[in-house]
Protein backbone atom coordinates (compact mmCIF):
# COMPACT_ATOMS: atom_id res chain seq x y z
CA UNK A 1 0.00 0.00 0.00
CA UNK A 2 1.34 3.45 -0.90
CA UNK A 3 2.35 5.90 1.76
CA UNK A 4 2.44 9.69 1.61
CA UNK A 5 5.68 11.62 1.94
CA UNK A 6 5.73 13.31 5.34
CA UNK A 7 7.33 16.66 4.41
CA UNK A 8 8.01 18.86 1.40
CA UNK A 9 11.53 19.47 0.26
CA UNK A 10 13.62 22.52 -0.12
CA UNK A 11 16.04 21.25 -2.73
CA UNK A 12 15.40 22.31 -6.29
CA UNK A 13 17.02 21.45 -9.53
CA UNK A 14 16.58 24.29 -12.01
CA UNK A 15 17.41 22.85 -15.37
CA UNK A 16 15.83 22.28 -18.74
CA UNK A 17 15.62 24.71 -21.49
CA UNK A 18 15.82 27.40 -18.88
CA UNK A 19 16.90 26.08 -15.65
CA UNK A 20 13.88 24.05 -14.76
CA UNK A 21 13.14 23.07 -11.24
CA UNK A 22 12.36 19.51 -10.66
CA UNK A 23 14.12 16.50 -11.62
CA UNK A 24 14.93 16.30 -15.23
CA UNK A 25 17.25 13.69 -14.27
CA UNK A 26 18.28 10.40 -15.56
CA UNK A 27 18.25 8.79 -18.83
CA UNK A 28 18.29 5.72 -20.80
CA UNK A 29 17.81 2.07 -21.25
CA UNK A 30 20.91 1.05 -19.32
CA UNK A 31 22.43 -2.42 -19.52
CA UNK A 32 22.08 -3.30 -15.85
CA UNK A 33 23.26 -6.72 -14.74
CA UNK A 34 20.55 -8.64 -12.89
CA UNK A 35 21.17 -11.83 -11.02
CA UNK A 36 18.89 -14.82 -10.92
CA UNK A 37 19.79 -15.31 -7.26
CA UNK A 38 16.74 -15.00 -5.04
CA UNK A 39 16.52 -11.70 -3.17
CA UNK A 40 15.00 -11.60 0.29
CA UNK A 41 12.12 -9.21 0.92
CA UNK A 42 12.98 -5.87 2.41
CA UNK A 43 11.71 -4.82 5.80
CA UNK A 44 12.37 -1.15 5.10
CA UNK A 45 9.39 1.15 4.52
CA UNK A 46 9.26 3.33 1.38
CA UNK A 47 9.95 6.40 3.51
CA UNK A 48 13.01 4.69 4.99
CA UNK A 49 14.34 3.77 1.53
CA UNK A 50 13.94 7.38 0.41
CA UNK A 51 15.65 8.68 3.55
CA UNK A 52 18.62 6.37 3.00
CA UNK A 53 18.93 7.48 -0.61
CA UNK A 54 18.81 11.18 0.33
CA UNK A 55 21.48 10.60 3.00
CA UNK A 56 23.84 8.83 0.58
CA UNK A 57 25.70 11.88 -0.75
CA UNK A 58 28.55 11.10 1.64
CA UNK A 59 29.00 7.53 0.38
CA UNK A 60 32.32 7.45 -1.49
CA UNK A 61 32.52 5.19 -4.53
CA UNK A 62 33.93 4.57 -8.00
CA UNK A 63 31.75 3.31 -10.84
CA UNK A 64 30.80 3.47 -14.49
CA UNK A 65 27.55 5.12 -15.48
CA UNK A 66 25.35 5.00 -18.52
CA UNK A 67 22.20 6.93 -19.26
CA UNK A 68 19.95 7.26 -22.24
CA UNK A 69 17.01 9.57 -22.73
CA UNK A 70 14.09 9.65 -25.09
CA UNK A 71 13.34 13.38 -24.91
CA UNK A 72 13.24 14.62 -28.49
CA UNK A 73 14.07 18.25 -27.81
CA UNK A 74 15.14 20.63 -30.58
CA UNK A 75 18.79 21.60 -30.63
CA UNK A 76 18.47 25.31 -29.82
CA UNK A 77 21.52 27.51 -30.09
CA UNK A 78 22.50 28.89 -26.70
CA UNK A 79 21.44 25.83 -24.70
CA UNK A 80 24.63 23.82 -25.07
CA UNK A 81 24.36 20.03 -25.13
CA UNK A 82 20.87 19.92 -23.62
CA UNK A 83 19.25 18.13 -26.56
CA UNK A 84 22.04 15.54 -26.69
CA UNK A 85 22.09 14.92 -22.94
CA UNK A 86 18.32 14.44 -22.69
CA UNK A 87 17.84 12.68 -26.00
CA UNK A 88 20.79 10.33 -26.36
CA UNK A 89 23.22 8.04 -24.57
CA UNK A 90 25.78 9.38 -22.10
CA UNK A 91 28.56 7.16 -20.76
CA UNK A 92 30.53 8.26 -17.74
CA UNK A 93 33.28 7.25 -15.34
CA UNK A 94 32.71 8.43 -11.78
CA UNK A 95 35.00 9.02 -8.80
CA UNK A 96 32.96 10.32 -5.86
CA UNK A 97 34.45 11.40 -2.54
CA UNK A 98 31.51 13.61 -1.53
CA UNK A 99 29.29 16.45 -2.79
CA UNK A 100 32.24 18.86 -2.86
CA UNK A 101 34.96 16.54 -4.15
CA UNK A 102 34.28 14.40 -7.19
CA UNK A 103 35.12 13.76 -10.83
CA UNK A 104 32.93 12.61 -13.71
CA UNK A 105 34.41 11.84 -17.14
CA UNK A 106 32.21 11.76 -20.22
CA UNK A 107 33.46 9.56 -23.04
CA UNK A 108 32.02 9.39 -26.54
CA UNK A 109 33.09 8.77 -30.11
CA UNK A 110 34.42 12.30 -30.50
CA UNK A 111 36.57 12.44 -27.39
CA UNK A 112 36.56 12.92 -23.62
CA UNK A 113 35.52 15.70 -21.26
CA UNK A 114 36.30 15.56 -17.53
CA UNK A 115 34.46 17.56 -14.86
CA UNK A 116 35.92 18.09 -11.39
CA UNK A 117 33.76 19.22 -8.47
CA UNK A 118 35.60 21.18 -5.78
CA UNK A 119 34.37 23.03 -2.66
CA UNK A 120 34.11 26.45 -4.33
CA UNK A 121 34.35 25.75 -8.06
CA UNK A 122 33.79 23.31 -10.89
CA UNK A 123 36.45 22.70 -13.53
CA UNK A 124 35.94 21.07 -16.92
CA UNK A 125 38.82 19.80 -19.06
CA UNK A 126 38.06 19.07 -22.70
CA UNK A 127 40.79 16.93 -24.23
CA UNK A 128 39.82 17.62 -27.83
CA UNK A 129 39.82 21.42 -27.63
CA UNK A 130 42.43 21.49 -24.84
CA UNK A 131 40.21 23.94 -23.00
CA UNK A 132 40.21 24.24 -19.21
CA UNK A 133 37.16 26.09 -17.84
CA UNK A 134 36.74 26.88 -14.14
CA UNK A 135 33.37 28.09 -12.89
CA UNK A 136 33.56 29.80 -9.51
CA UNK A 137 30.65 29.43 -7.11
CA UNK A 138 27.44 27.47 -7.50
CA UNK A 139 24.96 28.97 -9.95
CA UNK A 140 21.41 28.99 -8.60
CA UNK A 141 20.18 28.07 -12.07
CA UNK A 142 22.03 26.37 -14.89
CA UNK A 143 21.66 23.85 -17.66
CA UNK A 144 22.28 20.19 -16.84
CA UNK A 145 25.73 18.61 -17.13
CA UNK A 146 26.62 14.96 -17.57
CA UNK A 147 27.35 14.61 -13.84
CA UNK A 148 23.73 15.58 -13.11
CA UNK A 149 22.65 12.42 -14.94
CA UNK A 150 24.67 10.02 -12.79
CA UNK A 151 22.17 7.72 -11.06
CA UNK A 152 22.87 8.64 -7.39
CA UNK A 153 22.79 12.40 -8.03
CA UNK A 154 19.74 12.13 -10.28
CA UNK A 155 17.87 9.94 -7.80
CA UNK A 156 18.57 12.28 -4.89
CA UNK A 157 17.27 15.26 -6.86
CA UNK A 158 14.18 13.37 -7.92
CA UNK A 159 13.39 12.10 -4.42
CA UNK A 160 14.08 15.49 -2.84
CA UNK A 161 11.43 16.98 -5.15
CA UNK A 162 8.71 14.66 -3.83
CA UNK A 163 5.92 16.51 -2.03
CA UNK A 164 3.46 15.51 0.68
CA UNK A 165 0.74 14.79 -1.89
CA UNK A 166 2.90 12.39 -3.93
CA UNK A 167 2.61 8.68 -3.18
CA UNK A 168 5.38 6.23 -2.31
CA UNK A 169 5.22 2.43 -2.45
CA UNK A 170 7.79 -0.34 -2.10
CA UNK A 171 8.97 -2.36 -5.10
CA UNK A 172 10.33 -5.91 -5.00
CA UNK A 173 14.08 -5.83 -4.35
CA UNK A 174 16.46 -6.74 -7.16
CA UNK A 175 20.05 -7.83 -7.66
CA UNK A 176 21.76 -5.02 -9.58
CA UNK A 177 25.44 -5.19 -10.44
CA UNK A 178 25.82 -7.95 -7.84
CA UNK A 179 24.21 -5.88 -5.08
CA UNK A 180 20.87 -6.23 -3.33
CA UNK A 181 18.78 -3.14 -4.05
CA UNK A 182 15.52 -2.10 -2.42
CA UNK A 183 13.04 -0.36 -4.70
CA UNK A 184 10.64 2.52 -4.19
CA UNK A 185 8.05 3.89 -6.60
CA UNK A 186 6.93 7.52 -6.69
CA UNK A 187 3.57 8.44 -8.26
CA UNK A 188 2.40 12.05 -8.58
CA UNK A 189 -0.44 12.74 -6.18
CA UNK A 190 -2.11 15.42 -8.28
CA UNK A 191 -2.90 15.95 -11.94
CA UNK A 192 -0.78 17.93 -14.34
CA UNK A 193 2.48 15.98 -14.23
CA UNK A 194 3.84 14.26 -17.34
CA UNK A 195 5.39 11.63 -15.05
CA UNK A 196 3.35 8.47 -14.60
CA UNK A 197 5.81 7.01 -12.11
CA UNK A 198 9.47 7.06 -11.13
CA UNK A 199 11.23 3.97 -9.76
CA UNK A 200 14.46 4.09 -7.76
CA UNK A 201 16.54 1.12 -6.59
CA UNK A 202 18.81 1.75 -3.60
CA UNK A 203 21.75 -0.39 -2.49
CA UNK A 204 20.68 -2.07 0.74
CA UNK A 205 24.21 -2.01 2.17
CA UNK A 206 25.08 1.65 1.58
CA UNK A 207 21.93 3.56 0.59
CA UNK A 208 23.53 4.46 -2.74
CA UNK A 209 20.94 4.74 -5.56
CA UNK A 210 21.95 2.32 -8.31
CA UNK A 211 19.21 2.75 -10.88
CA UNK A 212 16.40 5.18 -11.69
CA UNK A 213 13.60 4.83 -14.24
CA UNK A 214 11.14 7.59 -15.11
CA UNK A 215 8.04 6.58 -17.09
CA UNK A 216 5.94 9.23 -18.78
CA UNK A 217 2.17 9.34 -18.99
CA UNK A 218 2.38 8.44 -22.68
CA UNK A 219 4.08 5.15 -21.76
CA UNK A 220 7.57 3.75 -22.09
CA UNK A 221 10.79 4.43 -20.20
CA UNK A 222 11.41 8.11 -20.85
CA UNK A 223 14.51 8.49 -18.72
CA UNK A 224 16.77 5.97 -17.00
CA UNK A 225 20.20 6.03 -15.38
CA UNK A 226 22.25 3.29 -13.73
CA UNK A 227 25.65 2.44 -12.27
CA UNK A 228 27.80 -0.60 -12.95
CA UNK A 229 31.11 -1.81 -11.57
CA UNK A 230 30.47 -0.07 -8.25
CA UNK A 231 33.38 -0.10 -5.80
CA UNK A 232 32.56 1.49 -2.46
CA UNK A 233 35.37 3.45 -0.82
CA UNK A 234 37.27 6.68 -1.23
CA UNK A 235 38.94 7.12 -4.61
CA UNK A 236 42.60 8.03 -4.93
CA UNK A 237 42.85 11.73 -4.18
CA UNK A 238 45.21 12.29 -7.12
CA UNK A 239 42.42 11.35 -9.53
CA UNK A 240 40.31 14.25 -8.22
CA UNK A 241 42.85 16.99 -8.98
CA UNK A 242 42.14 18.94 -12.19
CA UNK A 243 44.94 18.90 -14.76
CA UNK A 244 47.09 21.94 -15.42
CA UNK A 245 48.64 21.42 -18.88
CA UNK A 246 50.80 24.39 -19.91
CA UNK A 247 49.29 24.47 -23.42
CA UNK A 248 45.65 24.58 -22.24
CA UNK A 249 43.32 27.43 -23.13
CA UNK A 250 42.11 28.65 -19.75
CA UNK A 251 39.07 30.64 -18.71
CA UNK A 252 37.51 31.64 -15.39
CA UNK A 253 33.75 32.21 -15.19
CA UNK A 254 31.03 32.89 -12.64
CA UNK A 255 28.15 31.70 -14.84
CA UNK A 256 28.65 28.55 -16.94
CA UNK A 257 25.89 29.03 -19.51
CA UNK A 258 23.07 31.22 -20.81
CA UNK A 259 20.66 30.18 -18.09
CA UNK A 260 23.10 31.00 -15.30
CA UNK A 261 23.97 34.39 -16.80
CA UNK A 262 20.31 35.33 -17.20
CA UNK A 263 19.50 34.26 -13.63
CA UNK A 264 22.15 36.67 -12.34
CA UNK A 265 20.64 39.59 -14.25
CA UNK A 266 16.87 39.14 -13.88
CA UNK A 267 15.15 42.55 -13.46
CA UNK A 268 11.69 41.43 -12.32
CA UNK A 269 10.20 40.74 -8.89
CA UNK A 270 8.21 37.57 -9.43
CA UNK A 271 4.67 37.21 -7.98
CA UNK A 272 3.75 34.81 -5.17
CA UNK A 273 1.30 32.85 -7.34
CA UNK A 274 1.03 31.98 -11.04
CA UNK A 275 -1.38 29.76 -12.93
CA UNK A 276 -3.00 28.65 -9.68
CA UNK A 277 0.35 27.48 -8.27
CA UNK A 278 2.00 28.97 -5.19
CA UNK A 279 5.64 30.02 -5.37
CA UNK A 280 8.06 27.43 -4.04
CA UNK A 281 11.41 29.08 -4.82
CA UNK A 282 13.17 32.47 -4.85
CA UNK A 283 10.85 35.37 -5.62
CA UNK A 284 13.35 38.19 -6.12
CA UNK A 285 15.41 37.80 -9.27
CA UNK A 286 16.77 34.58 -10.67
CA UNK A 287 14.61 31.59 -11.35
CA UNK A 288 11.37 31.11 -9.44
CA UNK A 289 9.54 27.82 -9.08
CA UNK A 290 5.82 27.31 -8.63
CA UNK A 291 3.90 24.29 -7.39
CA UNK A 292 4.77 21.41 -5.10
CA UNK A 293 6.02 17.87 -5.39
CA UNK A 294 6.24 16.50 -8.91
CA UNK A 295 3.97 19.21 -10.31
CA UNK A 296 6.41 22.08 -10.36
CA UNK A 297 7.11 24.81 -12.89
CA UNK A 298 10.22 26.96 -13.25
CA UNK A 299 10.02 30.53 -14.53
CA UNK A 300 13.17 32.23 -15.78
CA UNK A 301 12.83 35.90 -16.79
CA UNK A 302 14.78 36.79 -19.93
CA UNK A 303 16.17 40.18 -20.97
CA UNK A 304 14.43 41.46 -24.10
CA UNK A 305 17.35 40.95 -26.47
CA UNK A 306 18.05 37.47 -25.14
CA UNK A 307 14.38 36.56 -25.52
CA UNK A 308 14.40 37.71 -29.14
CA UNK A 309 17.46 35.61 -29.92
CA UNK A 310 16.17 32.52 -28.08
CA UNK A 311 12.76 32.68 -29.77
CA UNK A 312 14.40 33.12 -33.16
CA UNK A 313 16.67 30.13 -32.51
CA UNK A 314 13.69 28.03 -31.41
CA UNK A 315 11.67 28.84 -34.51
CA UNK A 316 14.74 28.13 -36.66
CA UNK A 317 14.87 24.70 -35.00
CA UNK A 318 11.27 24.00 -36.08
CA UNK A 319 9.08 25.41 -33.30
CA UNK A 320 6.11 27.64 -34.20
CA UNK A 321 5.61 31.22 -33.03
CA UNK A 322 2.06 31.70 -31.70
CA UNK A 323 0.37 35.05 -31.13
CA UNK A 324 -1.64 35.06 -27.88
CA UNK A 325 -3.38 37.68 -25.79
CA UNK A 326 -0.79 40.01 -24.37
CA UNK A 327 2.16 38.75 -26.40
CA UNK A 328 3.60 35.74 -28.20
CA UNK A 329 4.99 32.33 -27.33
CA UNK A 330 6.98 29.43 -28.75
CA UNK A 331 6.29 25.91 -27.49
CA UNK A 332 9.22 23.53 -27.03
CA UNK A 333 9.00 20.08 -25.56
CA UNK A 334 8.57 16.34 -25.68
CA UNK A 335 6.34 13.74 -24.10
CA UNK A 336 7.90 14.36 -20.68
CA UNK A 337 9.54 17.78 -20.60
CA UNK A 338 7.71 20.88 -21.81
CA UNK A 339 8.67 24.54 -22.05
CA UNK A 340 7.25 27.83 -23.31
CA UNK A 341 9.26 30.81 -24.49
CA UNK A 342 7.01 33.77 -23.73
CA UNK A 343 7.36 37.46 -24.64
CA UNK A 344 4.96 40.30 -23.83
CA UNK A 345 3.72 42.90 -26.28
CA UNK A 346 5.95 45.47 -24.56
CA UNK A 347 9.02 43.42 -25.67
CA UNK A 348 10.49 44.01 -22.20
CA UNK A 349 8.89 41.15 -20.31
CA UNK A 350 9.96 37.71 -21.51
CA UNK A 351 10.35 34.32 -19.83
CA UNK A 352 11.09 30.66 -20.18
CA UNK A 353 8.42 28.61 -18.41
CA UNK A 354 9.32 24.92 -18.10
CA UNK A 355 8.66 21.72 -16.20
CA UNK A 356 7.76 18.06 -16.23
CA UNK A 357 4.13 19.06 -16.55
CA UNK A 358 1.35 19.07 -19.12
CA UNK A 359 1.27 21.99 -21.58
CA UNK A 360 -1.96 23.32 -20.02
CA UNK A 361 -0.11 23.95 -16.74
CA UNK A 362 2.51 26.05 -18.55
CA UNK A 363 -0.20 27.85 -20.52
CA UNK A 364 -1.91 28.99 -17.31
CA UNK A 365 1.36 30.30 -15.86
CA UNK A 366 2.23 32.11 -19.10
CA UNK A 367 -1.25 33.67 -19.33
CA UNK A 368 -0.87 35.19 -15.85
CA UNK A 369 2.60 36.55 -16.71
CA UNK A 370 1.27 38.23 -19.84
CA UNK A 371 -1.87 39.57 -18.17
CA UNK A 372 0.00 41.06 -15.19
CA UNK A 373 3.69 41.63 -15.97
CA UNK A 374 5.84 41.59 -12.78
CA UNK A 375 7.22 44.95 -11.61
CA UNK A 376 10.94 45.75 -11.49
CA UNK A 377 12.68 44.31 -8.45
CA UNK A 378 14.05 46.71 -5.90
CA UNK A 379 17.77 47.32 -5.82
CA UNK A 380 19.47 45.50 -2.91
Quote the pLDDT of residue 354.
86
Contacts of 81 (CB under 8 A, 6+ apart): none
Q: Which residues pair with 250 in a beta bridge?
A: 132
Find out whether 164 and 293 touch, Cβ atoms under 8 Å. yes
Q: What is the CA radius of gyration of the chain?
A: 20
**Domains, the chain, with CATH or none:** 15-253 (2.50.20.10), 262-371 (3.40.1000)
Confidence at residue 228, expressed as pLDDT on a 0 to 100 scale = 97
| pTM recorded for the entire structure | 0.80
Burial class (CB in 10 A: 0-12, 13-18, 19+), 53: buried
Q: Give the pLDDT of residue 30.
A: 35
Per-residue pLDDT 10s for the chain (380 aa) are 444 443 333 333 333 333 333 333 323 233 333 443 456 677 799 999 999 999 999 999 999 999 877 554 444 444 555 545 455 678 999 999 999 999 999 987 777 899 999 999 999 999 888 999 998 877 666 667 778 889 999 999 899 989 999 999 999 999 999 999 999 999 999 899 999 999 999 999 999 999 999 998 887 657 889 999 999 999 999 999 999 899 999 888 776 655 656 666 667 888 999 999 999 876 555 568 899 988 999 888 887 777 777 787 778 767 788 899 999 998 887 677 788 889 999 888 888 888 889 999 999 999 999 999 998 877 65
The DSSP string of 118-156 is: ETTEEEEEETTTTEEEEEES--SS----GGGGSHHHHHH
Residues shown for the chain = 380
Q: How far apart are alpha carbons 212 and 223 in whole angstroms?
A: 8
Q: What is the pLDDT of residue 307?
A: 75
**193, 294 Cβ separation under 8 angstroms:** yes
Please give the Cα distance from 325 to 334 (Å, whole number). 24
Amino acid sequence: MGTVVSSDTRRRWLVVVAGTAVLVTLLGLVPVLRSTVAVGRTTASPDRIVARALASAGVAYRADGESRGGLALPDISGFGDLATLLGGTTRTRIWWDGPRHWRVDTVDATGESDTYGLPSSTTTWDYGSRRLVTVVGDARARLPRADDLVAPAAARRLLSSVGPQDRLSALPPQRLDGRTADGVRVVPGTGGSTIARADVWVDRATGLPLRVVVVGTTGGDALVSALSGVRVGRPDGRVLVPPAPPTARRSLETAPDLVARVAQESPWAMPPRLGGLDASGPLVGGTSTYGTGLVRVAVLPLPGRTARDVMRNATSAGSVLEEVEGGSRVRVGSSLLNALLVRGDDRRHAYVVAGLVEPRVLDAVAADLLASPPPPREAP
